[in-house]
Structure 1
Amino acid sequence: MKQLLLALALLSGLTRPVRAQVYSATDPLAHTYSIVARDPQTGDLAVAVQSHWFSVGTSVSWAEAGVGAIATQSFTNKSFGPRGLALLRSGQSAQQTLAELLRTDEGRDVRQVAVVDRNGQVAVHTGIKCIDFAGHRTGPQFSVQANMMLTDQVPAAMAQAYEAAAALPLPERVLAALEAAQAAGGDIRGRQSAALLVVRAQATAEPWTDRLVDLRVEDAAEPLQELGRLLRLHRAYEHMNAGDLAVERNDVPGAIQEYEAAEKLFPRNLEMQYWHAISLANKQRLLEALKLLRPVFRQEPNWRTLTGRLPKVGLLTVSAAELHQILTLR
């Protein structure tokens, strides 16, 4: 009810039909800052956002591999996401897509929306009734936008940070833009949730692999810190997945290398320590494996139980004596 009263008060200057169309229970008031971008090196597409609003990523962020990325915020019109992607998919440019979305929207004055297409063209709109401080900046293949900010420096800070981080991979680069926004004052209400979505430059025959990064922090005191932690964890598990694939190929040295890389990123993660140790054992490096397994077993005894089940499926290829030595480790 509080949100509904706020919406009605802010829209008191509009006619009754417009007010009904602008706000509904399914279109939240996602006042926020965000970035849409295309990586000029890889062609990958990204959208990232932070707000003082629960689960902002489910409202603001939209992207599709080989198509484009969209951020819809302020008085959010969620339909802009799927409708905009459909327009981009049909061959419309970012500017054509934005124009069509706004043409049919009587609430355009309270909307903020940004689009980047597969070619890196960008288009952005900040409605004249978006709450101050509100604005946007565009640059080569990216757009940053913000509304209800504490200061008017947020878009400029985001653009500068994104351009300065050109050497970073796209996910880390857009995260740098969000962090710069917060440092410049951020949302006047504070912070609550954040999201990061990155998709491939081109769709593949395996669409389940087309989302390269899909992370959301729904409710946290420091959502950007948590988003950064999740991104680092995501990177660590990329190494874990590569290690698992190496195991499938019977490439034990390759698996060890990948598990070691993962463990360096998150040295306290038991899962990473455990599979690193199992790979060492399979490479007849038992003493090194035992050194890693001892603290894992002490902290969580179920890993010891799991170990006894691995030989049956071929994931632990040690002798019976070596298995006994592992299982009785103290």
Structure 2
Amino acid sequence: MTFSLLGRCARTGQIGAAGATSDIGVGARIQHVAGGVGGVLTQHRTDPRLGPRGVALLRSGCGAAETVAALVASTPHEAWRQLAALDARGGTAHHHGARVKRERGEAHGRDCVAIGNILSSEAVPAAMVRAFEADPAAPLGDRLVAALAAGEAAGGEHGPVVSAALEVHGEHSFALADLRVDRAADPIAELAALWRDYAPKIDEFVLRATDPDRARGGASGGVPGGVPGPGEAAA
């Protein structure tokens, strides 16, 4: 009852993930990403512990296929697990356990991999990959949102989608974007609206973290001492 995609931007090196499901709070469980390292998806009878374990394997130098193989070998319940990995070079791999419910599917593309379970059609992941690949010059977040929308348009799950999430990671240790719609009637549309609002602010948020003196509302603007003036954001 989940469809998701890991993707990499070859131009910027950014890595991200997006997913949606018919249960509440998908973003807290399925996607695990680290900038410059790669990402892991863990879903169906989801074990969130496999995500950080997979990222650690990628960080140690394992490729996507080695990472998925190690995760499968290390869990006694692999038959219930659906996994995917993307490494920093764009390599991809997936695993469907024998007890993962149908329709299930996967699709691999250039710098991306999509997986899903309890889908209306096994073609959903392929639709997601096509949408992600359609405009390689677009911002990674745009491409991830487009992939989710394409998965839904291709049939999505058997039931209505309730939650959706998006992450984008770059060169810093923190996420450039980590957006979640934990429960809504149309979570993918709401996530797309959140991304449209958030994306233009990313550079400013990064500047506040890395060079606060140059950030709007910092010590050089508004009120002396960095106290924000009227209408200025302090976050």
Q: Does the pair score TM above 0.5?
A: yes
Aligned-partner Cα distance in 1 for 2:224–2:60: 52
CA RMSD of aligned residues (A): 2.5
* Matched residue SS, 1:57: helix
Q: Which position in structure 1 is the counterpart of 2:194?
A: 230
Partner AA of 1:231 in structure 2: W
Q: How does 1:298-313 map to 2 (within 5 A)?
A: none
User: Which of 77, 80, 87 does residue 47 from structure 2 map onto?
Assistant: 77
Aligned-partner Cα distance in 2 for 1:80–1:102: 9
Partner AA of 1:32 in structure 2: T
Q: How does 1:17-32 map to 2 (within 5 A)?
A: 31-32=1-2
Q: Could you tell me whether the CA contact under 8 Å between 2:11 and 2:137 is conserved in 1?
A: no
Aligned-partner Cα distance in 2 for 1:311–1:86: 43
Q: Which position in structure 1 is the counterpart of 2:176?
A: 212
What is the Cα deviation at residue 78 of structure 1?
A: 1.4
Aligned-partner Cα distance in 2 for 1:313–1:85: 37
Whose RCO is larger (CA < 8 A, sep 6+)? 2
Q: Could you tell me whether the CA contact under 8 Å between 2:41 and 2:51 is conserved in 1?
A: yes
What is the Cα deviation at residue 314 of structure 1?
A: 8.0
Aligned-partner Cα distance in 1 for 2:81–2:126: 20
For residues 38-62 of structure 1, the C-alpha deviation after alignment (integer angstroms, 9 at most, x for no partner) is 1111111111100001101111010
**Shift in CA distance, 41/312, structure 1 to aligned 2, threshold 3 Å:** closer
Partner AA of 1:97 in structure 2: T
Output the TM-score relative to the length of structure 2. 0.86
Structure 2 alignment gaps of length 5 or more: 209-213, 230-235
Aligned-partner Cα distance in 1 for 2:203–2:45: 40
What is the Cα deviation at residue 105 of structure 1?
A: 2.1
Q: Could you tell me whether the CA contact under 8 Å between 1:192 and 1:218 is conserved in 2?
A: yes
Structure with higher helix content: 1
Q: Could you tell me whether the CA contact under 8 Å between 2:218 and 2:228 is conserved in 1?
A: no
User: Which of 61, 79, 101 does residue 131 from structure 1 map onto?
Assistant: 101
Q: Which position in structure 1 is the counterpart of 2:28?
A: 58
Aligned-partner Cα distance in 2 for 1:45–1:63: 7
* Matched residue SS, 2:120: coil
Larger Rg: 1 or 2? Answer: 1
Identity %: 35
Aligned-partner Cα distance in 2 for 1:123–1:236: 32
Output the TM-score relative to the length of structure 1. 0.63
Q: Could you tell me whether the CA contact under 8 Å between 1:165 and 1:176 is conserved in 2?
A: no
User: Which of 160, 163, 169 does residue 139 from structure 2 map onto?
Assistant: 169
Q: How does 1:110-121 map to 2 (within 5 A)?
A: 110-121=80-91
What is the Cα deviation at residue 36 of structure 1?
A: 0.6
Number of residue-to-residue matches in the alignment: 224
Aligned-partner Cα distance in 1 for 2:225–2:53: 51
Structure 1 alignment gaps of length 5 or more: 1-30, 252-278, 280-309, 317-330
Aligned-partner Cα distance in 2 for 1:249–1:312: 5
Partner AA of 2:196 in structure 1: R
